[in-house]
Amino acid sequence: MAGAGNSAPIYPKPDPDPFYAAPADLASKQPGDVLATRAMPPLAIFPATTVTEVLFRSTNSTGKPIAATTTVLTPDAHRPDGPLLSFQHIINGLGAECSVSRVLYTGDPNLIVREAPGWNVLLARGWSVALPDHLGPTFAYGAAKLGGQVVLDGIRAVKQVDELRVRASPVAMVGYSGGGMATAWAAAEQPSYAPELKIAGAAMGGVPMNLVKMLETLGLNSHPVFGLALAAGVGLEREYPDRFPLSEQLNEQGVAARDQMSNSCTNDIIAAGAGHGALDFAKTTSMIQDPDARAVVEENSLELYDGVPTMPVFEWHSPIDGLIPIDAVVNTDRRWCEAGAVVQSEEIPVPDHLTAAVLGIPMALDWLDARFRGDPAPSNCPAMHDN
């Protein structure tokens, strides 16, 4: 729902499903507390699997309570306290229809063709799979720190739901691109945000480790996927309305593009900004130099965050990626290594973002399987130090 006037932040349309609504006593709940659960209809794409939605209390980027959701796939082969994997799906979206919990029931071909076969491999192993809506209730795309907190609180919540039989399960996390960003932030935030959680490992690929560099790359000049940069700006304004006043900086064309994408998912977001850049949509570039606005982006850039995972990490990326800054990935891996983290980093020898995802996932899943077995985690940190 739009605010009053073009200079106010624009929020997504209210969700008509009352399940997603925050209860009146939300502030009295603790992060990870379960607010509601419901059984969902079975899905033909996931045979012999039950689907459960969990509403839980989480925290936004400014410390305020929010209601968030995760969807749990429980295969018939799951044994009590068998493995639980939090799978952070890529959510490039600004509206409710983009959430994983919605997309599962809308027949999105990208989900069915690209993701479902891989998820079925995990379900066939007896793993339960949690799919958090990690952008939060306002779909604050770009608010990466928020994503990590929602992931961690989702794990806390799922482990409290007795019928899911995961209270004592070993837990791991995986994600790619935007899902990798939520995974990486969850791994880095866990020691301070959820220290009681024991997580066996986190596998992350194609992670935008530095949003400052990424937005400068995508935003200042015309770019085919500039829409993603604008959407990240819209999401950050939703999360930090007082510190990131994007809307008041937009010209008429920019406001139109913002309004067009305010409830959109990937394809429509990209279409709204394709071939454009910040200079097309902004009245002025003063916001780029504004220290407070820049600080918001820096606060959501993992390369600049001092938290270090204490769980083992598997990280993979293409060495030539037109979408994310690879130097930020390498710098973050090295910093984690130097702080004592156990990191296995792999370069996938392909020149693009999406192919690296496909080729890296089998390695990531083998790595996760070993973590669930309790095998010692490998590390190539010394090799990274030598480069």
pLDDT by residue (tens digit) across 225-275? 889 989 999 999 999 999 999 999 999 999 999 999 999 999 999 999 998
Closest CA to 158 of 70, 51, 259: 70
- The answer to whether residue 106 scores a pLDDT higher than 90 is no
pLDDT by residue (tens digit) across 315-344? 999 998 878 899 999 999 999 999 999 999
Q: In which residue ranges of the chain is CATH 1.10.260.130 found?
A: 211-299
Please compute the mean of the pLDDT values over residues 174-192 and round it to a whole number. 97
Give the pLDDT confidence score for residue 321 in this predicted structure.
85
Place of tokens 């010209």: 251
pLDDT by residue (tens digit) across 288-309? 778 899 999 999 999 999 999 9
Closest CA to 71 of 161, 186, 1: 161
Q: How confident is the model at residue 218 (pLDDT cuts 50, 70, 90)?
A: low
* 171 within 8 A of 216, measured Cβ to Cβ: no
Write down the CATH superfamily of domain 18-207+307-386: Alpha/Beta hydrolase fold, catalytic domain (3.40.50.1820)
| % pLDDT > 90, the chain | 79
- The answer to whether residue 357 scores a pLDDT higher than 80 is yes
Q: Is 263 helix (H, G, I), strand (E, B) or coil?
A: coil
Beta-bridge partner residues of 203: 174, 314
Asked whether the CA dihedral 14, 27, 135, 258 is positive or negative, the reply is positive
d(CA 154, CA 304) in angstroms, rounded, equals 25
- The answer to whether residue 382 scores a pLDDT higher than 80 is no
**Residue 358 main-chain phi, psi, to 5 deg:** -65, -45
CATH code for residues 211-299: 1.10.260.130
191, amino acid identity = P
Question: What does pLDDT average to over the chain?
Answer: 92
Q: How confident is the model at residue 111 (pLDDT cuts 50, 70, 90)?
A: low
Give the pLDDT confidence score for residue 129 in this predicted structure.
97
Place of tokens 């039989």: 165
Asked whether the CA dihedral 194, 195, 196, 202 is positive or negative, the reply is positive
CB atoms within 10 A of CB 275: 11
pLDDT by residue (tens digit) across 127-144? 999 999 999 999 999 999
| Lowest mean per-residue pLDDT among 21-30, 105-114, 355-364 | 105-114
Q: In which residue ranges of the chain is CATH 3.40.50.1820 found?
A: 18-207+307-386
- The answer to whether residue 171 scores a pLDDT higher than 60 is yes
Please compute the mean of the pLDDT values over residues 160-188 and round it to a whole number. 97
Identify the H or E element spanning 118: helix 116-124
- The answer to whether residue 359 scores a pLDDT higher than 90 is yes
Asked whether the CA dihedral 157, 161, 167, 172 is positive or negative, the reply is negative
- The answer to whether residue 183 scores a pLDDT higher than 60 is yes
- The answer to whether residue 112 scores a pLDDT higher than 60 is no
- The answer to whether residue 385 scores a pLDDT higher than 50 is no
